[in-house]
Amino acid sequence: MPVEASLLEILACPACHAPLRDESAAQTPELVCDGNGCGLAYPIRDGIPVLLVDEARRPA
């Protein structure tokens, strides 16, 4: 289930404040930071983005 475009426009990465990219079509739905050097991936659980740095997946 994709995140609504209007919500995605106002969300930002809690760590670096860069925009987030919706990767909800992937096997594990998440919002991925587009910031240089950050790249944290925040999970989407039951259609709700979990924007906690402690819950984010670090880039490989």
pLDDT reported for residue 59: 79
| 15-35 pLDDT, tens digit each | 999 999 999 887 889 999 998
CA distance 35 to 17: 8
Whether 2 shows a pLDDT value over 90: the answer reads no
Average pLDDT, the chain: 90
Q: Is the dihedral of CA 15, 32, 24, 56 positive or negative?
A: negative
Average pLDDT of the segment spanning 27-48 = 91
Q: What domains sit in the chain, N to C, each tagged with a CATH number?
A: 5-55 (2.20.25)
Whether 60 shows a pLDDT value over 80: the answer reads no
